[in-house]
Amino acid sequence: MSATFSTDNLIRHGTPAFKRTNLALFAAGLATFGLLYCVQPLMPLFSQHYGISAATSALSLSLTTGVLAFAMLFAGGVSDAWGRKKVMVASLLSSAALVLLTALMPNWYTLLTLRTLLGITLSGLPAVAMTYLTEEMHPESIGLGMGLYISGSAVGGMSGRLIAGVVADFAGWRAGVAVVGVLGLVSGLVFWKALPPSRHFHPQPLQWRALFARFAGMFRDAGLPWLFLEGFLLLGAFVTVYNYLGYRLLAPPYNLSQTVVGLIFGIYLVGTFSSAWMGHLAGKLGRRKVLWTAFALMLFGVLCTMTASLWLIILGITAITFGFFGGHSIVSSWVGRRGGAAKAQASSMYLFSYYMGSSVAGWSGGLFYAADSWLGVALFVGALVLIGLLVALWLYRLPPLPQLITPPAPMSRGAMP
């Protein structure tokens, strides 16, 4: 933001505009991640309905997150030209419409086509929301605003899984998907009506040469490439566990119902606490001193899931979820710290690696499930987490105050959020 720009007309805590903005962003997080993850508890039902393997069923999420990873690299640039609110509203409403249509698809390939398109449409919100807050909200109020958006994201990720699973148990998977689509549509309309228009946005053409120069500069940093890898490993391990957990718990000897499995997915809400708690702990003790504990906790959780006890399995899922959200909070903030002047591009590349982990590892886990059931999945996830732990221990050697990246060429305001 320009040094001469007045902060008097920015959105402040306690004002009606602040309440509207927080309502809008909570609804946006709720819709985005509910629409994205609603298929996860339904994967065993897809396998039964279409006669497909676990790995093929996982494509319903892996294709979405893979396309989302690429699209997010460019969604911010599109909003530079078209406007923040316009892109976010179009993202939410079109995504909800695609999910509703998914419930009507007659075969597996048309369903996958819509889920692939969903990765493109969804990218407009997470890539632009933070930029909107930076431009429109007073610096003293941004933290609370972003916190509510993240809370909405966590609730959305949990409720999308839970609602789809419970409804599917009583009315079939198509009804489960449709209900989540309707809720996404309602949330999108709330977002459209509640979010104040952009008052400080100025359209800017996308400067491709400077943009790619900044992306290239990040890989000359001593720590950022390893942090990108950590994002890949974190979400890759986490999504793989949740992708194939339902297959295990619906089968003998547990024979749980889709509703009970959906309720177990409610463990996801642990992340609303662990992300804040471990992030605060990392701020006090240092990120390099805390990050390895997140991976160690996830590794403990993986070992628990290898037992036959249902209670130990649930304990293991809780540990994996706690460690994942804590690790993601630490790594994402560390990326911003090391990114310096290229902070926006560093965040974009981190999210690219993060969602590619979901896409690649989430699908690959199905191959291990086919080879050796849950033991194969646990060994695969354990290997991912162990690599993440070794990288975290290596990152411990980074200097406490890293030198920030100096971009090779200055970029005008608005070139990339």
Residue 172 is assigned to a structural domain of this protein? yes
Q: Tell me whether residue 280 is in a domain.
A: yes
My answer on whether 231 and 155 are in the same domain is no
Q: Which domain holds residue 296?
A: 212-405
Q: Rounded CA gap, 374 and 372, in Å?
A: 6
DSSP reduced 3-state for 190: helix
Decide if pLDDT at 155 tops 90.
no
pLDDT at 408 over 50: no
Tell whether 191 and 299 lie within a shared domain.
no
Give residue 148's pLDDT: 67
Residue 198: per-residue pLDDT: 80
Name the domain count of the chain: 2
Same domain, 47 and 157: yes
Q: How high is the pLDDT of residue 152?
A: 75
The pLDDT value recorded for residue 213 is: 64
Domain shared by 180 and 264, yes or no: no
Residue 406 has pLDDT above 50, yes or no: no
State how far the Cα of 339 lies from the Cα of 125, in Å rounded to an integer.
22
Whether 168 and 240 share a structural domain: no
pLDDT at 203: 67
Residues 276 and 161 in one domain: no
pLDDT of residue 340: 65
Examine the fold and report which residue of 150, 168, 198 is the final residue of a domain before the chain moves on.
198
In a domain, 9, yes or no: no
- Which of 198, 222, 253 is the last residue before a domain boundary? 198
CB atoms < 10 A from the CB of 148, how many?
17
- Per cent of the chain over pLDDT 70 is 85
Q: What is the mean pLDDT of the chain?
A: 85
pLDDT in tens, 36-51: 999 999 999 999 999 9
> Domain check: are 67 and 194 in the same one?
yes
**Greater model confidence, 397 or 188:** 188
Report which listed range, 27-31, 94-98, 340-344, is most confident: 94-98
Residues ≥6 apart with Cβ < 8 Å to 211: 77, 345, 411, 415, 416
In a domain, 323, yes or no: yes
Residue after which a domain boundary falls, among 170, 198, 226: 198
Answer whether residue 4 is part of any domain: no
Task: Determine, yes or no, domain membership for 168.
Answer: yes
pLDDT above 70 for 400: no
The domain that holds 346 is classified in CATH as: 1.20.1250.20
Burial label, 253 (beta-carbon count in 10 A; 0-12, 13-18, 19+): exposed
Name beta bridge partners: 11: 137
**Per-residue pLDDT tens over the stretch 157-204:** 888 989 999 999 999 999 999 999 999 999 999 999 999 988 876 766
Residue bearing tokens 């279409």: 50
174 vs 158: CA distance, rounded Å = 19
Q: Which residues contact 323 (CB under 8 A, 6 or more apart)?
A: 274, 293, 294, 295, 296, 297, 298, 301
224-271: pLDDT as tens digits = 899 999 999 999 999 999 999 999 999 999 999 988 988 888 888 887
Highest average pLDDT, of 79-93, 143-157, 228-242, comes from 228-242
Looking at residue 53, its amino acid is S
**Residue 3 belongs to some domain of the structure:** no
Same domain for 286 and 380, yes or no, is yes
Residues with Cβ < 8 Å from 143, sequence gap 6 or more?
Answer: none
Residue 157 forms part of a structural domain: yes
Q: 101 and 178: one domain?
A: yes
Percent of the chain surpassing pLDDT 90: 54
Structure tokens at 270: 């642990």
- DSSP codes joined into one string, 14-60: TSHHHHHHHHHHHHHHHHHHHHHHTTGGGHHHHHHHHT--HHHHHHH
Main-chain dihedrals φ then ψ at residue 220, nearest 5 degrees: -90, -5
Quote the CA–CA distance of 327 and 332 in Å, as a whole number: 8
pLDDT at 124 over 50: yes
Q: Do residues 170 and 267 share a domain? A: no
Are residue 235 and residue 172 in the same domain, yes or no? no
Q: How many residues can be counted in the chain?
A: 417
Asked if residue 172 and residue 292 are part of one domain, the reply reads no
pLDDT of 8 reads 60
Closest CA to 316 of 324, 32, 192, 415: 324
DSSP 8-state class, residue 9:
T
**Preceding amide of 400 cis, omega within 30:** no
Q: What is the mean pLDDT of residues 357-365?
A: 96
**Whole-angstrom distance, CA of residue 93 vs CA of residue 191:** 10
State mean pLDDT over 147-159: 77
How many beta carbons lie within 10 A of that of residue 95, not counting itself? 28
Asked whether the beta carbons of 111 and 84 are under 8 A apart, the reply is no
pLDDT of 140 > 60? The answer is: yes
